[in-house]
Each structure stands twice: as structure tokens, then as C-alpha cells.
Structure 1
Amino acid sequence: MGVPFEALLPYAIMTGFFAFSAVSLGKLKEMQNGGKRSRRGVDHWDQVVMERDRRLTGFMRGQTDKPFAPPGFELNNPWRCEDRFI
């Protein structure tokens, strides 16, 4: 005896919603990264460089080819020194 298709509709709807949410979240992450894929395995150096890129361009993954920094960037240093060295 076959399984009526009405019994499989809830599973199809749940699978469809899971697929829709996965695609939506992936697209949202891609939009937040400026149209690039999200990065995995980011170490401390990559975080520092991405923070620098964010301060230069406004995007974590943005890059610029301008030879000079924008005004005020020379005093905006992410590296912090101890008070005794200042």
C-alpha cells in the first residue's frame, strides 16, 4: 500500500523552509562582506588587517588602491602601547 502524498506535504514544507533560511542567511552574510564569501579560520593578523581595511574603506573586506591615507587616519592607530612607553 502506498503512502498518501498528503502525509509527505509537511516534510516537504519543512525542508523548503530550511532551504529558504539557509540560502537567505548565506546571502545576508555575503551582502555584509561586500559581495564576497565569508572568511573562515581568521587569525589575529587577519583581524587586524580587516579592521584596518574597515577603517580605510568602511567595509571589513574592502580594499583601496589610493596611495595616501584619508585625513585623520595617521592618528587612528589600532595598536595600543602601554602608558609607560608614551
Structure 2
Amino acid sequence: MGVPFEALLPYGIMIGMFAFSAVAVGSLREMQNGGKKGRRGLDAWDRVMMERDRRLTGFARGQTDKPFAPPGFEVNNPWRVEERFF
């Protein structure tokens, strides 16, 4: 005796929702990375360079071929200066 297809509909709906959410999350992450795949296994140097690229272009994965920095970049320093007590 076969299984009625009505018993399998909830499973199909659940699998469809899992697939939809996986595609949606993947596309959102790709949009956040400027259309590129997400990076894995980043070390300290990669993070520093991605922060520099973000300050130059606005995207963490964006790169530019301009030989000069945009205006205002000379005061856009990522280093935080501590307050001195005098």
C-alpha cells in the first residue's frame, strides 16, 4: 500500500523553506560583499587590508586602481589615539 501524497506535503514545504532561506542568506551575503563570494580564514593582515579597502571605496571587498587617495582620506585614520593625562 502506498503513502498518500498529502502526508508528504508538509515535508515538501519544509524542504522548500529551507532551500529558500539558504538562497536568500547566500545572496544577501554576496550583496554585502560587493557581488563577490564571502571570504574564509582571514588573518590579521587580510582584515587590515579589507578595512583599508573599505575606507577607500566604501566596500570591504572593493578595490580601486586610482593612484591617489580620495579627498579626506588623509585624515581618515583607523588608529585610535588614547587620551593622555597631563
Q: Smaller-chain TM-score range?
A: 0.7 to 0.9
The TM-score, its normalising length taken from structure 2, stands at 0.88
Q: What amino acid is aligned across from residue 7 of structure 2 in structure 1? A: A
Q: What amino acid is aligned across from residue 53 of structure 1 in structure 2? A: D
Per the alignment, residue 16 of structure 2 pairs with: 16
Q: Deviations over 1:24-69 (max 9, x none)?
A: 0000000010000010111111111001000000001000000001
Paired residues in the alignment total 84
Distance 1:37 1:6 in 2: 39
Per the alignment, residue 56 of structure 1 pairs with: 56
Distance 1:53 1:38 in 2: 15
- TM-aligned CA deviation for residue 71 of structure 1: 1.6
The TM-score, its normalising length taken from structure 1, stands at 0.88
After superposition, the CA RMSD in angstroms is 1.5
Structural mapping, 1:14-53, within 5 Å = 14-53=14-53
- TM-aligned CA deviation for residue 77 of structure 1: 2.5
SS at match of 2:8: helix
Runs (4+) of structure 1 exceeding 4 A deviation are: 80-84
Gaps of 5+ in 1: none
SS at match of 2:50: helix
